[in-house]
Each structure stands twice: as C-alpha cells, then as structure tokens.
Amino acid sequence: MPLSDVVSIYKVFTSRVGGSEGKLDEVSKQQLENEFGTSNSEDAILKILKEGDLKNSPNVAKKGFNSQNDSKGPASDLKF
C-alpha cells in the first residue's frame, strides 16, 4: 500500500506545551535524527506507523466537541 494512501502530509510534529492536547510544532531534522535515527521525515513516518503505539485522546471519544476555530468563534455559534 502506498504511504500516500495513509498519510496526508509528510511532516512529523511534537507537542512542546500541554501534552497530547497542546500546541503542535514541526520537529527539526536534528530531532528526527535523535528520535528515529534518520533526518528523513518519510522514513520517520514509516517507523512511527510500523513501531508506534496508539495514543487515544480523551476528547476523541466525546460525542460532542467543544472546539473553537479562532477565526470563526466557538463551534456553537456556527450556522449552516
């Protein structure tokens, strides 16, 4: 199966503040090298998919989301 069937962007992110729900930043090539033994993001993504552990966020299981798009305001204010 081609990697493009599973991955929409070829970038690896980390959460520097706030744990799994914090702000995400793209990792540097040095961080990729330190963590995965390669500075190639595609190789790191393959390693994550093959060897990584599934981490569930408590918000994923909720039936309703209280998310906010800063440019649109709270989700409850959206009108369709």
pLDDT in tens, 41-68: 999 999 998 998 877 666 544 545 455 5
pLDDT at 80: 37
Domain range for residue 5? 1-50
pLDDT band at 21 (very low <50, low <70, confident <90, very high): low
pTM of the model: 0.59
Place of tokens 């993001």: 41
3-class secondary structure, 76: helix
Q: At what angle do helices 29-36 and 41-51 cross, to 10 degrees?
A: 40
Number of separate domains in the chain: 1
Residue 26: inside a domain: yes
Residue 63: inside a domain: no
Average pLDDT of the segment spanning 31-43: 94
Given phi > 0 = left and psi -120 to 50 = alpha, else beta, which region is 21?
A: alpha
Average pLDDT of the segment spanning 4-33: 83
